[in-house]
Every structure is written in C-alpha cells, then in structure tokens.
Chains A and B, each alone.
Chain A
C-alpha cells in the first residue's frame, strides 16, 4: 500500500480555538496518511481532539496550521467554492445526530447534495443510493416519521449519492440501539468491501474492531496507529 500515493496526507496539522482571548490547543502537529480503500477508526476519550481531527479531515473545519493534501493537492488555501466542491463530490458525511432536514421527504433529503452540483438525473441517483441502504420503499416518508436506524441509513444514502471517495462517520451508532447500530456498521463494512474509503470516529472498542486500522488520539496527539489484527464480524463485534 505504501507504494501508492496517499488519498489523505496531513503534515504538521494543528488546531487552536480562541475563546475570550484564551487559546486552547486542540491538535498538536499531527502527521498521518490514509490510503484509498482503508477502513480507519479514530478513537480516543472525549476532549482528545478526535472530533476536531475528523472535522478537519472532512473539510467541515480548517486547520490553524500545517498542510492537508487531498489526492495530492494542498487544500490549505482553497477558497469557499473549491472546499464546497470537495465536500460535495469527494466526501460523504454521516453525523451522530443524523442531521436530516425535518418535515422533508426521504427522497428530498437524499437529493440535497445533488442540488448543489447540477446533476442530471437526480431521482435515479437518489433511488440507487437508497437501494444501497435498503430504504427504497420509504421514499415519500417524512424524515421525522422514521426510526433512528432508518434515519441513519437515509443519512448514509445522502452521503453516498454523489459517489464520493471517502465516507466520514462521526459516532454513527452513538444514537442508535444495538440492532440498528449493527445494521449501520454492516452497511459501512459492505461499502468498504466495495472499495470505498471509510473513516469512522467512535469510542466503542467493539465498533472500532470492524475497522482495518485504528488511530488512537489522546491530548491532541496521535497516541497509537496500528492495523487491526483480529478483525471481528459486525455481528460479533456489536453484541453488548
């Protein structure tokens, strides 16, 4: 794998937050590379900076210093338009709290990213994505009429609809019961098997064990970065 160029390469990335003139350093000069087709779990206690790292990786936030190469391009000085295009085409994001538009149909929720890139056959693309998560029968339901597991599957369909390079999932099972969580992890694993790069933030050991590689973050630094030796089946991993 190391022969290929990395999909994602962080060089000396740091992040500071300034509140009332008090500077809080959240990330300290991180370096890390992620390759196409990987399934990475980022772990760490709360306050470790794992979420901040995730937000920077997925272009929802900008680093305070350092360089972020995506597909070999330095994105540090990208303007709003180029960042928006990256978020739209190259990545899909799955939130812990779903973030679906309320009182809007499942179909319209999944179409949302397509509204911003002038795609031609939006409905067909949305249908395909919904078939991928087994929700093609729920098209005209409103998002608030769905169960938590269904909501998260709609969110995954939304993340998939533009056929991105990477799927980011921020504690995707955090708000779900174990059965729904299991389904979601199965979908992510299947996507990875089909070649999609998956980056997952979690604090659950058994969820992380579905991944191929675990990066542990502590106090804003990468504490350990290792391959998963015994990759568990989703079903085994989620029995609580």
Chain B
C-alpha cells in the first residue's frame, strides 16, 4: 500500500471507531494541553512578579541605612530601626552630575480622619523631587514645593485610593484632614498608580519631609533615599560615587564598615530573577510529572486499542497483508491519532492560557500571556512519541503472530 492509501485508510479507521479514536486523542490532548498551560501560567506568574519590580524603573538607586553585602538586604528591611541616614546625606548626593533627582523618605502608619470618616493610612514624608524619582503624575491640585517643605507646611497630597476612601466622590482639594492630631490641608491628589513592588501606591498620603520628621515622628533620620540616574549605563558609576560621598560624610575609611547600602534596582531585579528562575524549575518539574502521567495514559489507551485490534490484524493477514503492511498501517494510524491529538492539545492549551491571562488582567494583575515555543515542542513531541511507540510496538508484535493465533485472540 502507498502512503496515501495508508493515510486514507487511517482516516477511515478513525471514523469507523469514533469512541476509541476519541479516547486516544483525548489522552494526547490532555497531555499536550497540560504542559502548555502549566508552562504558560508559570511564565505569566513570573511576569507578574517581574513587572512589579521593574515598574520602578531600572535607573533607580536605593540607599538604605545599615550595612549589607551581596548575600542579603540590610537590617532596616527587616524592621530594625537604623538611624544613620540623614536628609543632609540626600542633599549631598545632588551634587553628583549623573543624578537628576534625589528623594528621601520617612514613613509612618496612623489613622487619617476627615469629618467622621477614618482610614488607616501610610504617610510618607518626602521632598518635591519625589514626583521625578517615582514618575508620579498629579490628577488634581498640585504636589508641595520646596518652600512648603522648608516651612514645615501642614499640607498633604493624597494617593488615589486614599482620596476615594476618605472623600468618596467629593473634591478633597482644600479640605482639612487630621493625622496624629495634626490638621493638614489637602492640596493635591495623585493619579492612579496601582501596585508597585507589592506596595499599593494609591493608599499613601504624602506630606513634606520636614513636617513628618518634626511634627509627626520627632526624628531626624530618613528611612530611605532614592536617586534617579539619567542613563541606565551610568548606574554603576553613580553607585560608586554615592558610596564615596557617604563614606566621606560618615567618616568611614573601609568599604566593609559602611553604615548604609546603595543598590541599583537592577540588582534587585537580578535577585528577583533568581527567585523566579527557581519558580521556573519548579514548574518545569510539575510539567515533567504531568507529561509522565499523560504519557502513561496515552500508553494505556494505545495498548488497549492494539489489543482490541489483534483480531483485525489476524483477519488482515488472512486476506494477504504482510507483516510490513500491518506495521506500516499501525504506524500511520498512530501518527495520525497523535498528531491530531497534539494539534488539538496545542489549541486547547493556547485557549486556556489566554483565558487565565484575561481573567488575571481583569482582576488587576499585570499578567503577561506567554506561550513558549519549547513548551509546545516538548509537550507535543513527547506525547506523540509515546503514542507512536505504544501504538506501533504492540502492533508489530501482533503482526508476527500466525494469522490463526491473532484471529483466536479474545
């Protein structure tokens, strides 16, 4: 028989045995789709984490109080209060020519109140350059300026969510809110920003740094300084200069005695990448297990199908089929079944992964729809290989029986 005749024959066979064909194809569809979906959902989750970090921009340098090395973050991240960074340090960094803007932060949590409406809010004491460093746009009113900061003005700029929670649909500009018993006049609302670095930026309330340090917290240190560099390429140079300047200011001669840590956010991205790479390995492991399970399913169905067809093999031999004819036919059959199952599986995997991405985006997560070519190749090739081997090998064994033995098979 020619290949074409074999193909025609296979399609006839598939149609003649709809239930068996359906089960076989289903096994392969599930195997292929499972791998594609798992890999796509994994990649989507990875992108979610990654986007959170990279939304801050890769040209930011974060300076935290307390020493840190390559192995971990400084103690201040763990909640230990370290008081070695001052606003003057931030001021000094402005002289570095690669740096366009520097913002220092001093934050606290307390109740904010307007009339009878109360919310738990995080207030951030910062400087006007904050809007440049963090790329913030103002929805209405304005951010405070340098004179207001110097004068310890009692003004506040609300995050989008904080404004909505406190004022509902009313215009908050000019209204007075109370934090820690101090009255603040609302002068602006920030545009919606969403979640960045796992902090909902829209719940924050911004107050001039001086006001927060002196009136609300009674401290003279800052919890963090961020510097924005013009060019990504100048980040390492800027980091070196920052360390140099801060060491001089803090009378430190040796790098390992530094009482601060300066890191580019790109470095944080690298650290994050290690975490997400581990996630990828984990997902690849799950995908491998689902491939094995799917493969065993395909194997079983193929074995049953061939077993069921042993009498047919006997009959075909009785009317003149050679061993080679039988083997060819079953090989073509297995290829047709596995390929159609594989194609349907790829399409199904695509659709489900896309649905997951759509739902996640609808729920507000920054989720990328990622289908990788390796996942398609891996899923399809292993499923098809298993299907072909276990469709063809037992048929080859059966083709070697004398016709009468195959015909007697129950």
Least CB distance from B253 to A in Å reads: 90
1/0 contact string of B1-37 vs chain A (CB within 8 Å)? 1000100010010001100000000000000000000
The answer to whether A108 has its CB under 8 Å from any CB of chain B is yes
Least CB distance from A4 to B in Å reads: 27
Residues of A within 8 A of B312 (CB): 101
1/0 contact string of A90-124 vs chain B (CB within 8 Å)? 00010100010111100010001101110000000
Of residues 307 through 322 on chain B, the ones whose CB sits less than 8 Å from some CB of chain A are 311-312, 315-322
Is the CB–CB distance between B319 and A112 below 8 Å? yes
Cα-based distance from A84 to B325 in the complex (angstroms): 10
Residues of B within 8 A of A87 (CB): 317-320, 403
| Residue on B nearest A113 in the bound complex, by CB | B319
Cα-based distance from A87 to B323 in the complex (angstroms): 13
Residues of B within 8 A of A162 (CB): 320
Residues of A within 8 A of B317 (CB): 84, 87
Cα-based distance from A60 to B320 in the complex (angstroms): 10
Say yes or no: A61-B16 contact (C-beta < 8 A), given A87-B320, A101-B315, A112-B319: no
Is the CB–CB distance between A84 and B321 below 8 Å? yes
Say yes or no: A89-B319 contact (C-beta < 8 A), given A61-B404, A115-B5: no
Residues of B within 8 A of A117 (CB): 320
Is the CB–CB distance between B16 and A88 below 8 Å? no
Is the CB–CB distance between A103 and B16 below 8 Å? yes
Residues of B within 8 A of A146 (CB): none
| Residue on B nearest A89 in the bound complex, by CB | B320
The answer to whether A55 has its CB under 8 Å from any CB of chain B is yes
Least CB distance from B287 to A in Å reads: 37
Of residues 388 through 410 on chain B, the ones whose CB sits less than 8 Å from some CB of chain A are 402-405, 407
The answer to whether A81 has its CB under 8 Å from any CB of chain B is yes
Residues of A within 8 A of B322 (CB): 80-81, 84, 116
Instruction: Report the interface size for chain A: residues with CB under 8 A from the other chain.
Output: 28
Say yes or no: A101-B16 contact (C-beta < 8 A), given A55-B404, A60-B404, A80-B322: yes
Is the CB–CB distance between B320 and A99 below 8 Å? no
Cα-based distance from A58 to B318 in the complex (angstroms): 9
Partner of A99, one of B16, B315, B325, B405: B315
The answer to whether A151 has its CB under 8 Å from any CB of chain B is no
Residues of A within 8 A of B9 (CB): 115
| Residue on B nearest A59 in the bound complex, by CB | B403
Say yes or no: A60-B323 contact (C-beta < 8 A), given A103-B17, A115-B9: no
Residues of B within 8 A of A102 (CB): 16
Max chain B Cβ within 10 angstroms of own Cβ: one of A85, A103, A112, A116: A116
Say yes or no: A116-B321 contact (C-beta < 8 A), given A99-B311, A102-B16, A104-B12: yes
Cα-based distance from A108 to B323 in the complex (angstroms): 21
Residues of A within 8 A of B325 (CB): 84, 116
The answer to whether A62 has its CB under 8 Å from any CB of chain B is yes
Least CB distance from B260 to A in Å reads: 80
Residues of B within 8 A of A103 (CB): 16-17
Residues of B within 8 A of A60 (CB): 318, 402-404, 407
Max chain A Cβ within 10 angstroms of own Cβ: one of B9, B404, B405: B404
The answer to whether A158 has its CB under 8 Å from any CB of chain B is yes
Cα-based distance from A99 to B311 in the complex (angstroms): 8
Of residues 358 through 410 on chain B, the ones whose CB sits less than 8 Å from some CB of chain A are 402-405, 407
Residues of A within 8 A of B17 (CB): 103
Is the CB–CB distance between A93 and B404 below 8 Å? no
Of residues 286 through 303 on chain B, the ones whose CB sits less than 8 Å from some CB of chain A are none
Is the CB–CB distance between A116 and B320 below 8 Å? yes
| Residue on A nearest B15 in the bound complex, by CB | A103
Residues of A within 8 A of B1 (CB): 115-116
Is the CB–CB distance between B16 and A104 below 8 Å? yes
Max chain A Cβ within 10 angstroms of own Cβ: one of B316, B318, B324: B318
Cα-based distance from A153 to B220 in the complex (angstroms): 105
Cα-based distance from A84 to B317 in the complex (angstroms): 7
Residues of B within 8 A of A115 (CB): 1, 5, 9
| Residue on B nearest A102 in the bound complex, by CB | B16
Least CB distance from B323 to A in Å reads: 5
Cα-based distance from A55 to B401 in the complex (angstroms): 14
Cα-based distance from A60 to B323 in the complex (angstroms): 13
| Residue on A nearest B18 in the bound complex, by CB | A103
Is the CB–CB distance between A116 and B16 below 8 Å? no
Say yes or no: A108-B402 contact (C-beta < 8 A), given A80-B323, A84-B322: no
Least CB distance from B163 to A in Å reads: 70
Cα-based distance from A40 to B190 in the complex (angstroms): 103
| Residue on A nearest B319 in the bound complex, by CB | A113
Cα-based distance from A27 to B257 in the complex (angstroms): 100
Is the CB–CB distance between A99 and B12 below 8 Å? no
A-B CB proximity, top 4 nearest: A88-B320, A113-B319, A103-B16, A84-B322
Residues of B within 8 A of A (CB): 1, 5, 9, 12, 16-17, 311-312, 315-325, 402-405, 407
Residue contacts A-B, CB under 8 angstroms, 7 given: A55-B404, A61-B404, A87-B319, A99-B315, A99-B407, A116-B316, A162-B320
Given A80-B323, A99-B311: 18 more A-B contacts, CB < 8 Å: A58-B318, A60-B407, A61-B404, A81-B324, A84-B321, A87-B317, A87-B319, A95-B407, A99-B315, A101-B16, A101-B315, A102-B16, A108-B12, A112-B319, A115-B9, A116-B316, A116-B319, A116-B325
